[in-house]
């Protein structure tokens, strides 16, 4: 086969174009930090990247759910702690009121303090977190307790508020109001106030108060158990996020040392190609006719 000048020139230009193309791809990888910038660069890696990115986005959403769950549980526990202390104070006042030597004025003072504590318990039952009532089941936009209404308003929704904290796994984060701030709860305190004001024997209220305090303590224990489970689940999700990000990085991110080395090699090839090309393209018939 006869090799002509145009063939040499065309081959030289084609190789130069390929070298420029490889250099452009390497420079784009350095600029973006990614192995591929479009699916056509590597369809297999692109499909894997979509799956890895989906896993990362999923774990990030779970972590946001964990943050909200912790906020809900922490506020619930703090509210139950305040309610327990308030009930202990009511019990102390009941013990004082059971003393038969107290006069009407002293009993009135005790009943007034119990009434004020009951108002505080109403405020605790209406605790809001981020504009949501945490003691009214899934009716988080409705105030659960209003003792001033006629008849008084008490929580009615008993559904669990659940957060998805792992794929397909939901955990309730609320305390059911019928176990803590029910109609029976407030009615028992109001009956105590009535007996104090009437000067009746209040010893029988002690066992009722003890029962209400036990309910509060049991709910706090149940809440603490769920909080511990959520912490364990969060640790697992943190590990999954770390693994998913590593896999995504291995699939998408470039190794700068390798890319820089390849770019230097391509630059050396380009200089050599330009040097050889200048010798091939330059001689023409016109040069010999001068």
Residue 135: per-residue pLDDT: 93
**Does a structural domain hold residue 24?**
no
**Does a structural domain hold residue 93?**
yes
**Does a structural domain hold residue 113?**
yes
Maximum C-alpha span of the chain: 137
Helix (H), strand (E) at residue 100:
none
**Does a structural domain hold residue 282?**
no
pLDDT per position as a tens digit, 115-161: 999 999 999 999 998 889 999 989 999 999 999 988 899 998 888 99
**Does a structural domain hold residue 221?**
yes
pLDDT per position as a tens digit, 85-124: 999 999 999 999 887 777 778 888 999 999 999 999 999 9
**Does a structural domain hold residue 131?**
yes
pTM of the model: 0.73
**Does a structural domain hold residue 178?**
yes
**Does a structural domain hold residue 35?**
no
d(C-alpha 34, C-alpha 41), whole Å: 11
Indicate which CATH number applies to the domain containing 215.
Answer: 1.20.1330.10
Residues of the domain holding 67: 60-248
d(C-alpha 288, C-alpha 290), whole Å: 6
pLDDT per position as a tens digit, 261-270: 777 777 777 6
Domain count for the chain, please give it.
1
């Amino acid at each position: 086969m006869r090799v002509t000048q145009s063939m040499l020139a065309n081959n030289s230009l084609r190789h130069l174009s390929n070298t420029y193309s490889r250099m452009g791809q390497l420079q784009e990888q350095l600029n973006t930090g990614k192995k591929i910038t479009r699916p056509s660069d590597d369809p297999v890696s692109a499909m894997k990247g979509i799956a890895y990115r989906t896993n990362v986005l999923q774990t990030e959403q779970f972590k946001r759910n964990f943050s909200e769950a912790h906020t809900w549980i922490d506020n619930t526990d703090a509210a139950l702690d305040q309610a327990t202390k308030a009930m202990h104070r009511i019990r102390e006042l009941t013990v004082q009121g059971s003393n038969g030597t107290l006069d009407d004025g002293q009993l009135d003072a005790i009943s007034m303090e119990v009434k004020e504590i009951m108002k505080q318990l109403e405020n605790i039952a209406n605790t809001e977190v981020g504009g949501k009532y945490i003691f009214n089941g899934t009716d988080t936009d409705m105030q659960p307790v209003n003792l001033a209404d006629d008849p008084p308003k008490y929580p009615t929704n008993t559904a669990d508020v659940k957060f998805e904290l792992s794929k397909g796994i939901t955990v309730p984060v609320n305390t059911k109001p019928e176990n803590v701030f029910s109609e029976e709860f407030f009615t028992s305190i109001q009956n105590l106030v009535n007996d104090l004001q009437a000067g009746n024997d209040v010893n029988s209220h002690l066992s009722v108060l003890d029962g209400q305090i036990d309910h509060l303590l049991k709910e706090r224990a149940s809440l603490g158990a769920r909080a511990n489970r959520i912490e364990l689940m969060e640790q697992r999700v943190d590990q999954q996020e770390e693994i998913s990000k590593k896999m995504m990085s291995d699939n998408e991110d470039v190794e700068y040392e390798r890319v820089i080395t390849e770019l230097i090699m391509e630059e050396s090839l380009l200089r050599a190609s330009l040097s050889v090309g200048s010798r091939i393209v330059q001689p023409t018939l016109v040069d010999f006719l001068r």
